[in-house]
Amino acid sequence: MSSSSTGDSSRDMVRVEKELLARWPESRLEPSLTRVTALVDLLGSPHRAMPVVQVAGTNGKTTTARMIDELLRGFGLRVGRFTSPHLQSIRERIVLDGKPVSAERFVETYDDIAPYVQMVDAGSDVPMSFFEVMVGMAYALFADAPVDVAVIEVGMGGTWDATNVADARVAVVTPVALDHAEYLGPDVATIAGEKAGIVKADAIAVLAHQEPGALDTLVRRAVEVEAVVAREGTEFGVLERRVAVGGQQVRLQGLGGEYEEIFLPLFGAHQAQNAVTALAAVEAFLGAGSATGPIEQDTVRAAFAAVRSPGRLERVRTSPTVLVDAAHNPAGMAATVDAIKESFDFTRLIGVVGCVTGKDVAGMLAALEDVCAELVVTQNSSPRAMPADELGALAVDIFGADRVSVSPRLAEAVSEAIELAEAGPDDALGGSGVLVTGSVITAGEARSLMAGRRS
């Protein structure tokens, strides 16, 4: 590609991003499928051009979707994947053949559907949101590619999420926990009711381990629509796992049988759970079960070994080790803390935390208190970022004033944390580290920051 065409695509990407971000953000909702249904109807129903594996839940959705994608491609299928939010580039949300779509293709797809988006806007009291347009782009691009299967992550909830305009052949629900309570409900049973909306007639519902109230709600929905149910702990599950260099070694019970000697280059029990849920989803999609036996084991092993999940306990620096993690609610943070305890030998860990408003920040900080010796609180660039001083006051209540410092700029907060780690008495032994967490936005900005330092 010539430098001039590269420049053109860069300018076009800036234009398209600006137009997309001028729309209602993902944090502002008007729950309805009316607008996205109108759009896909105008586009010729691209959401019906391929079978869909849909992934809902509170935590683990993006990683599970990545695993499903990797496995399906291992079996020779062309896969389109839609996930959210993105860490660094908006193009990460729409993935084709395992890679984010090119800037040229992203712009081309946006420009192709833009007139139809304007038609929907003109006929609605509420204009299409950023997320709704992104969903329309994803389905249009996947239909045009074309793909053999689309792996689609729900944005929020399920029933009225824009992705749910499609009827999934396989509906996956990762663990449900309290998050987005102002939109989804005050308890896990109510939240599960929203997420259960992705389970449609004749689908296969693959349910990760759930709290009892959530499980009852999800199974009831499956029975109502006559969907087949596969549950972690009953039809599939993690049989064994042990810590290994760079991740973990697992033995999994799938729908079709046992899968042994699987290396997963990710840390924590929650990632093993994501892996077996993804495996069951792929088995269900391919028609495997107890009558057919396991799908090809070497293909499964190779796919899991190739899985990457940026921003999920990702090591972005050594000496001292700096980990970046996108945990943004208490359940996610608890899983992160457990994984750190299990997989890393830190004798002293410095936390860098930046959160957004509307979250159970105190719950996240309480989980971190058990593993972080000191905390540097900061804020990310989001308009919804919790001010560093406000976050610091919450942290002092939990950690004590002598263990908390406030540094509003993320770059300076990370530098301060690295200095604190290097100054620790155990650093010479490799025992000190830094964890940057609290929000997907914080994790993404920290990744960009550390990549810039490396280059």
Angle between helices 188-195 and 212-225 (to 10 degrees): 30
Q: Who contacts 425 (Cβ-Cβ below 8 Å, separation ≥6)?
A: 348
Under the banding of pLDDT at 50, 70 and 90, the label for residue 184 is low
Q: What is the 3-state secondary structure (H, E, C) of 334-383?
A: HHHHHHHHHHCCCCEEEEEECCECCCCHHHHHHHHHCCCCEEEEEECCCC
> Quick check: 425 pLDDT over 80?
no
CB atoms within 10 A of CB 409: 13
DSSP code at position 175: P
pLDDT at 430: 54
Q: What is the CATH number of the domain that holds 355?
A: 3.90.190.20
Same domain, 101 and 148: yes
Is residue 53 in a domain?
A: yes
pLDDT at 40: 98
pLDDT at 212: 87
DSSP code at position 413: H
Exposure class string for 262-281: b at 16+ Cβ within 10 A, else e = bbbbbbbebbbbbbbbbbbb
Task: Considering only residues 189 and 94, tell me which one the structure prediction assigns the higher pLDDT.
Answer: 94
Domain boundary among 306, 327, 352: 306
> Quick check: 3 pLDDT over 50?
no
Whole domain around residue 407: which residue ranges?
314-454
Strands 348-353 and 374-379, by their bridges, are parallel
Q: What is the CATH number of the domain that holds 245?
A: 3.40.1190.10
> Quick check: 112 pLDDT over 70?
yes
Same domain, 283 and 347: no
Same domain, 220 and 328: no
> Quick check: 25 pLDDT over 90?
no
* Percentage of the residues of the chain whose pLDDT score is greater than 90: 86
Residue 385 β-bridge partners: 356
pLDDT at 397: 97
> Quick check: 386 pLDDT over 50?
yes
Is residue 97 in a domain?
A: yes
Task: Considering only residues 289 and 226, tell me which one the structure prediction assigns the higher pLDDT.
Answer: 226
Number of domains in the chain: 2
> Quick check: 428 pLDDT over 90?
no
Per-residue tokens: 246: 């760079």
Over residues 126-145, the mean pLDDT reads 97
> Quick check: 427 pLDDT over 70?
no
Residue 94 β-bridge partners: 82
Per-residue tokens: 228: 């087949």
Over residues 158-163, the mean pLDDT reads 95
Same domain, 375 and 427: yes
Per-residue tokens: 1: 């590609």
> Quick check: 4 pLDDT over 50?
no
pLDDT at 410: 97
Is residue 88 in a domain?
A: yes
pLDDT at 5: 55
Question: How much is the pTM?
Answer: 0.94
CB atoms within 10 A of CB 209: 18
Over residues 449-453, the mean pLDDT reads 82
> Quick check: 336 pLDDT over 70?
yes
Over residues 321-347, the mean pLDDT reads 95
- For residues 352 and 449, the answer to whether their CB atoms sit within 8 Å is no
Domain boundary among 306, 327, 348: 306
How far, CA to CA in Å, does 48 sit from each of 72, 147, 376?
19, 12, 48
Is residue 250 in a domain?
A: yes
- At residue 408, the 3 state secondary structure works out as strand
> Model confidence over 253-274: pLDDT tens digits?
999 999 999 999 999 999 999 9
The CA distance from 57 to 406, in Å, is 33
Same domain, 340 and 272: no
Per-residue tokens: 335: 């899983």
Same domain, 95 and 238: yes
> Quick check: 36 pLDDT over 60?
yes
Same domain, 292 and 319: no
Average pLDDT over the chain reads 93
> Quick check: 165 pLDDT over 90?
yes
- For residues 153 and 62, the answer to whether their CB atoms sit within 8 Å is yes
Over residues 281-299, the mean pLDDT reads 95
Q: Who contacts 378 (Cβ-Cβ below 8 Å, separation ≥6)?
A: 352, 353, 354, 388, 391, 406, 407, 408, 409, 410, 412, 413, 442
Same domain, 292 and 323: no
Residue with tokens 């824009």: 162
Is residue 9 in a domain?
A: no
* Nearest Cα residue to 113 out of 135, 83, 89: 135
- At residue 75, the 3 state secondary structure works out as coil
The CA distance from 25 to 39, in Å, is 18
